[in-house]
């Protein structure tokens, strides 16, 4: 059995476990989406140039989000849990993008000035994924309203507001949450680009 089979089976098993205990919450939609995405990525494993590391990280980031079904969206070690999920999620997604476009880098793994343009494209593509996630959250809110999970406005969506029934009423807590999410998406994006660059050009290694 290949490692990707083990990753998929483990992910689906965890989805079933979480779903068994939290099927009445808004996270049930997230669990179905996670299963769908994990299966699609499994089927596109070779065309997308996924590796054990990148596929594992994507599945891990999705499951870390889904653990929010157990009320993990309270701050963890002083860090809002939602921030952790966004940083890890975009870190994983950007590594997938970087690995896919690595064919544009020299096989000698020597840095050339033209590589800066490719890394900028990878960075911007990562930001695009983050913006797509925020658009999905907004679309989910329009369909299902308030509640838990990525497709509804609820826990994790107003952590940055501090006091704030007033702020929510005046300008909408969602504005604060969206910008906070995009900033943490960018942090995960930057970390992935930096790690990929160091691993490729300094250590001369691929993500396998």
Rounded average pLDDT over 124-139? 86
Between 8 and 157, the higher pLDDT residue: 8
Rounded average pLDDT over 177-186? 84
Q: Count each helix (H run) and each strand (E run) in the chain, helices first.
A: 7, 0
Condensed to tens digits (0 to 9), the pLDDT of residues 136-172 reads 877 777 766 665 555 555 555 554 445 555 555 444 5
- What's the pTM? 0.81
Residue 89 has pLDDT above 60, yes or no: yes
Rounded average pLDDT over 70-94? 81
Rounded average pLDDT over 77-85? 80
Q: What is the pLDDT at residue 169?
A: 47
| Three-class DSSP category at 153 | strand
Cβ atoms within 10 Å of 56's Cβ, excluding its own: 18
3-state helix, strand, coil in the chain (%, to 5): 70, 0, 25
């Amino acid at each position: 059995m290949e490692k990707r089979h083990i990753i998929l089976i483990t992910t689906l098993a965890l989805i079933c476990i979480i779903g068994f205990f939290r099927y009445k919450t808004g996270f049930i939609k997230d669990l179905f989406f996670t299963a769908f995405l994990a299966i699609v990525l499994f089927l596109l494993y070779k065309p997308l140039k996924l590796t054990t590391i990148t596929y594992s990280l994507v599945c891990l980031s999705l499951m870390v989000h889904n653990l929010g079904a157990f009320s993990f969206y309270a701050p963890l070690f002083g860090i809002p849990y939602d921030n952790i999920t966004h940083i890890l999620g975009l870190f994983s997604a950007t590594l997938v993008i970087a690995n896919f476009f690595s064919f544009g880098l020299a096989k000698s793994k020597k840095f050339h000035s033209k590589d800066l343009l490719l890394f900028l494209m990878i960075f911007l593509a990562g930001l695009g994924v983050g913006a797509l996630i925020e658009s999905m959250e907004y679309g989910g809110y329009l369909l299902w309203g308030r509640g838990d999970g990525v497709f509804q406005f609820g826990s994790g969506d107003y952590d940055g507001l501090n006091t704030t029934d007033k702020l929510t009423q005046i300008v909408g807590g969602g504005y604060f949450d969206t910008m906070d999410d995009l900033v943490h998406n960018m942090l995960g994006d930057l970390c992935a680009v930096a790690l990929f660059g160091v691993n490729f050009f300094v250590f001369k290694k691929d993500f396998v």
